[in-house]
Every structure is written in structure tokens, then in C-alpha cells.
Amino acid sequence: MAIKRLEHVGIMVRDIQKSISFYTDTLGLKLKGELDHSNGTIKLAFLGFEVDGETEIELIEGYNDALPAEGKVHHIALKVDDVEEEYQRLQNLNVSFVENEITTLPNGARYIFFEGPDGERIELFEKIN
């Protein structure tokens, strides 16, 4: 199995700048990077404590404007060395994928989402260093 660790937890937000301020100013996390998704709509920000190997928080603006009162956690992401290899392995195990193609972000990171047994979203995430 090629899964390495929990990479990040994605949280849907309405106002990414307001959320960045909360997580940095109020909670003390560090902004590690921001980027616009390759779909041109979604904005992403990654935060952490600048510790090697840490699990990051990913803020996601523009995915869903009708956020529920509960359940704003959008997904968990699992770090892999080769997203294509792990995608094929899970397909062979009849895992249900949310998407049919691997997405590449402007920073070179690659991902694809699949579902757990109760429909929870899980992401395979290949980070380019």
C-alpha cells in the first residue's frame, strides 16, 4: 500500500480571507500558501504550524455557498507518492470514485476523490515538492 499519512483536512468556508485571519490571528497557525484552483472558481489556502510532516488544514472557498450548520469538513486527504498507481489499486478493489480523472493544480499537486463506505469523501493527494 502506498498511502503515507494524513495529508490535510479540507474545510469549506464562505470567506477565505476572514477564515485565514481567524486561523492565523486567533489560533496561531501559519499561512503556508494560497492558490486558485485550476477550475477558476475555487480558492484554496493551506495552514499549519510549520512542523515537518504535519497534517495541514486546507480552507476551500467557492465549492458550496450553502454551507450546512454542521459538517463543514469537506474531506480528508491521504498523501501518496504516485496518485495514478494508488487510483488503479483502489479501482481494482471496486472503490467508488467521485471523479473519473486525476486533477492537476497549478502548483503541480495532483489529486482524485473517492468515497468511503458511508459516502464520506477521501482524497488521494500527490504533493510535488
Catalytic residues: 123
CA separation, residue 66 to residues 44, 53, 61, 63, 124 (Å): 18, 33, 11, 9, 25
Region for 18 from its dihedrals, namely left if φ exceeds 0, alpha if ψ lies in -120 to 50, beta otherwise: alpha
